[in-house]
Amino acid sequence: MKFIFSHNSFNVLDLDKSLKFYKDALGLAETRRKEAADGSFTLVFLGDGATPHKLELTWLRDRKEKYNLGDNETHLGFTVEDYSAAHELHKKMGCICYENEAMGLYFIEDPDGYWLEILPARRPA
């Protein structure tokens, strides 16, 4: 039996704001959407165009208060070929929330407070 990653899910308060953030910050695009017949929820799946893994954004109509992310130790990691250009983009967007230059990585924060790790793509020597 073999299990394969399918997706991760984040609950969001403002779906349009989150979709814009993920497109602008990470280039993720909508691949699929499911809306409840009664309008109580919307699921939007985002993809990077390179891997089958998806990020599912879940919007709940009746949710008005921010989500409690606890200590927010859970995160998604992304690699990028042009780390310097990505860092500059995220700096301009004002979404860098933590940097560790010694480890060569940083984190950005989405509109709901989720942290996303940005790493340079590593090539074998």
Whether the per-residue pLDDT at 61 is higher than 50: the answer is yes
Whether the per-residue pLDDT at 28 is higher than 70: the answer is yes
What average pLDDT does this structure show over 54-58? 98
Q: DSSP readout, 14-83?
A: -HHHHHHHHHHHH--EEEEEEE-TTSSEEEEEEE-SSSS-EEEEEEETT--SPP--TT---EEEEEES-H
13: exposed, middle or buried (C-beta count within 10 Å: 0-12, 13-18, 19+)? middle
pTM: 0.90
Interval 66-122: pLDDT, tens: 999 888 778 999 999 999 999 999 999 999 999 999 999 999 999 999 999 999 998
What average pLDDT does this structure show over 26-52? 97
Q: What is the pLDDT of residue 2?
A: 83
Mind listing the domains of the chain with CATH numbers?
A: 7-62+74-120 (3.10.180.10)
